[in-house]
Amino acid sequence: MTRKRLILTVLHRLAVLAYVAFALFPLFWLLKVSVTPTSLLYTEGVRLWPSQASLEHYKFVLTHSSFPTFFLNSTIVSASTAVIVTIVSSLAGYAMSRFVFRGKYWIVGLLLLTQMFPLVMLIAPMFKMLSPLGLTNSLTGLVIVYVAFNVPFATFLMQSFFDGIPKDLEDAAMIDGATRFTAFRQIILPLTLKATTFPVGLLSFVSKFSVDFGQMMAAGVLALIPACLFFLLIQRYLVQGLTAGAVKG
Amino acid sequence: MASITIEAITKTFGAVPVLHDIDLSIGDGEFVVLVGPSGCGKSTLLRMIAGLEDITAGEIRIDDRRINEVAPKDRDIAMVFQSYALYPHMTVADNMSYSLKLRKTAREKIAEAVGAAAGKLGLDPLLQRRPKALSGGQRQRVAMGRAIVRHPKAFLFDEPLSNLDARLREQMRAEIKRLHKSIGATSVYVTHDQIEAMTLADRIVAMHGGIIQQVGNPLDLYDRPANLFVAGFIGSPAMNFVEGHCRAGVIETTDGSKVAIPDGIQLAEGQAITIGVRPEHVRIVATPEIGTYTARVDLVEPTGFGTIVHVHLLGQDLKIYTLERGIAVVGQPMHIALDSARLHLFDRETTNRIG
Ligand SMILES: Nc1ncnc2c1ncn2[C@@H]1O[C@H](COP(=O)(O)OP(=O)(O)OP(=O)(O)O)[C@@H](O)[C@H]1O
Ligand SMILES: [Mg+2]
């Protein structure tokens, strides 16, 4: 019995390990190529690790290309988008979760509708709207567009988090002497924030960092770092966050 | 401390009426218990006093000040929820001091008030814990502590004990009563447990279907229930009901037995009557006499202190509560007397008490 369990456990671990190796192999390849000197890139054939590693690509990317600018812009846009989306969608999600109001049904419908258009279809009209405002080719314009794209889904996500928080908590806070907004800020938000900011902010992060910054593998590796760090950091909350609405806790 | 006046209160959710024309005045320092079956509108009425539900029609006053439009935070009322509703991200001390902090009370005053409340409820060792690290009974205490810490005008309780096990419930019940004796604050307490209602209340308000059925002190409701609903709701084991008609000066039950009409009660010939008799008021007698009944014992349920005996009598499964042990044996006949002074008569049409 215990022997069988042991074998099963070992097999299970091996399978997981094999899967991880398989999934991470492209990343490993990315890393390997990025540290292979150009002179060895085509001469050594297929090897797991070059005979000589160097950081020359990294140096080049960081000093002689526009990568740092792109990287910075990307970070600014993502961070501002994440902050704005979190604020707007938490307020909207709270209203959707707690209040009954006229037209709620239609607003939900509209929010859903916005999710149905492929991005490509919207580029032309968006350009038409943003250019008279002088917002094309600007980070502000980009933030506005990203916020507009991310708010609807984030609102749904937030609503489901708030649905999972008992109404009694705000009621208690309001009886204790808080206004509804104070109750929201001091009781409800702190409870959701940990679990939600991350997934909601993540929504706006991931897509942007998967943008390919040219064929440069080194840039590829660098560009992956924030997303990886972010995932590592939030991993705990991500699982918890995505299930938070599902079970009463 | 304050009095609460509820005048002609009506509540509808959308098109669904939930409370109908409720009138009630609660005196300063009084402990009033709202009792009734699930869905009768007790919580809704309580939440209207708290300001958590709109008032469809009517008026609620605290100390003669109309509060219909006053926000919950300005009503100076404390509430204990069935779910306790403790703030999960705050320690016990922070939970208790939250209301005082919102009122910008000085820090020393807060510490003093929290200390006093914690002392009263035995919460001292728990002050730095989070609610997650507390047992159900401890959470209940914290919820109580959070309410008493700020000396509100009135306390509202919505089934505060229903998530506790039976033993703890009994203990907390006594504690709440003691607390009320020492603080003396006006309290409105909602429960569907009639024992809680009986033991705690200065006055019980029995509700059913959004209508107040009877208001009175606990023993009034027990001794003189105003209608069939209250009669069946108050008391445990529940009152026996026997159906019959008034025929030639006696009540003839569905199985043809006859029950004498108690003194001083006038019934119309043919009137449909329901007789109510509490299990503890059915007497078991050793020998048959005039006016006693004989029935076979169906079932015996010992409860430790007493015994519930079921017999088939007067067209009914009649329950008898007796303190004599071993008096009833299943299948054996038993002689039973009904004291006419202990009978409650109800008009079956209106369900109201007669006499
Ligand atoms: N927000 C709401 N919308 C619609 N109907 C509601 C709402 N809240 C309560 N009700 C209805 O009002 C009626 C009374 O509810 P209430 O919660 O006051 O009952 P209760 O007496 O407290 O019952 P319980 O003992 O189960 O707590 C119920 O029929 C319930 O379905
Ligand atoms: Mg209720």
User: Is residue B42 within 6 Å of ligand 1 at its C-beta?
Assistant: yes
What residues of chain B lie within 8 A of the CB of A179, using their CB? 71, 73
Q: Is the pLDDT at A230 greater than 70, yes or no?
A: no
A17 falls within a domain: no
Query: Does residue A183 sit within a domain?
Result: yes
Q: Tens digits of per-residue pLDDT, B266-324?
A: 888 889 999 999 999 999 998 888 888 999 999 999 998 999 999 988 888 899 999 98
Copy the structure tokens of residue B188.
């409105």
Report residue A221's pLDDT band, with 50, 70 and 90 as the boundaries: low
Is A158 among the domain residues? yes
pLDDT tens-digit map of A146-191: 888 888 888 888 888 888 888 999 999 999 999 999 999 999 888 8
Q: How far apart are CA A108 and CA A99, in angstroms?
A: 13
Contacts of B146 in chain A (CB under 8 A): 172, 176
User: To test the ligand 1 pocket, which listed residue (B9, B11, B12, B13) has its Cβ within 8 A of the most ligand atoms?
Assistant: B13
Greater confidence (B138 vs A66) lies with: B138
Residue B130 to residue A186: CA distance in whole angstroms: 16
A175 contacts B98? CB cut-off 8 A:
no
Report yes or no: B311 and B298 within 8 Å, Cβ to Cβ. yes
In this complex, the residue of B47, B73, B87 whose CB is nearest that of residue A179 is B73
pLDDT tens track for A122-133:
888 888 888 888
Cα-trace Rg, chain B: 24
Q: Which of A167, A174, A176, A192 to mutate to test the interface with B (most CBs of B within 10 A)?
A: A176
Which residue of A175, A178, A187 is in closest CB contact with B77?
A: A175
A1 belongs to a structural domain: no
Q: How confident is the model at residue B191 (pLDDT cuts 50, 70, 90)?
A: very high
Give the phi and the psi of residue B285 in degrees, each rounded to 5.
Answer: -115, 155
CB-CB under 8 Å, A190 with B85: no
Q: Which atom of ligand 1 is nearest to the CA of B159?
A: 27
- Per-residue model confidence as pLDDT tens digits over A2-54: 888 999 999 999 999 998 888 888 888 888 888 887 777 777 777 778 788 77
In a domain, A129, yes or no: yes
Per the structure, the count of domains in chain A is: 1
Q: How far is the CA of B232 from the centre of ligand 2 (A)?
A: 20
B231, B239 contact by CB (below 8 A) = yes
Residue A90 Cα, gap to closest chain B Cα (Å): 19
Q: Which of B72, B77, B81 sits opposite A168 (nearest CB)?
A: B81
Helix axis angle, A217-243 to A2-34, nearest 10° = 140
The verdict on residue A174 lying in a domain is yes
Residue B67 has what pLDDT?
92
A168 at B interface, C-beta within 8 A? yes
Token pair of A181, please?
Answer: 């907004």
Total residues found in chain A within this entry? 249
CATH of residue A80's domain is 1.10.3720.10
What φ, ψ does residue B193 adopt, rounded to 5°? -95, 115
Identity of the residue in B47, B88, B99 whose CB atom sits nearest the CB atom of A176: B99
Whether A138 is covered by a domain: the verdict is yes
pLDDT value for A233: 65
Separation of CA B190 and ligand 2 centre (Å):
7
Report which listed range, A104-113, B236-245, B248-257, is most confident. Answer: B236-245
Among the residue ranges A196-210, B139-153, B190-204, the one predicted with the least confidence is A196-210
Among chain A residues, CA nearest to B14:
A100
Residue minimizing CA distance to atom 14 of ligand 1: B41
Where in the sequence is the domain holding A148, given as residue range(s)? 66-213+222-243
Min Cα distance B234 → chain A (Å) is 30
- Say yes or no to pLDDT of A243 above 60: no
Q: What atom in ligand 1 is closest to the CA of residue B53?
A: 1
Give domain status of residue A142, yes or no. Answer: yes
CA distance B71 to A201: 35
Q: Chain B interface, mutation test: which of A175, A186, A194, most B Cβ atoms within 10 Å?
A: A175
Which neighbouring-strand residues pair with B26?
B4
B44 lines ligand 1 (CB under 6 A): yes
Local confidence band at B145 (pLDDT 50, 70, 90 cut-offs): very high
3-state secondary structure A49-101: CCCCCCCHHHHHHHHHCCHHHHHHHHHHHHHHHHHHHHHHHHHHHHHHHHCCC
Cross-chain Cβ contact B81/A187 below 8 Å: no
A244 alpha carbon – ligand 1 mean position (Å): 26
B62 touches chain A (CB under 8 A): no
Mean of pLDDT values over B133-150: 90
Buried b (16+ CB within 10 A) or exposed e, A86-109: bebbbebbbbbbbeeeeeeeebee
The residue type found at A198 is F
Q: Determine whether the interchain pair A171/B52 forms a contact, defined as Cβ–Cβ distance below 8 Å.
A: yes
CA A208, CA A210: separation in Å to the nearest integer?
5
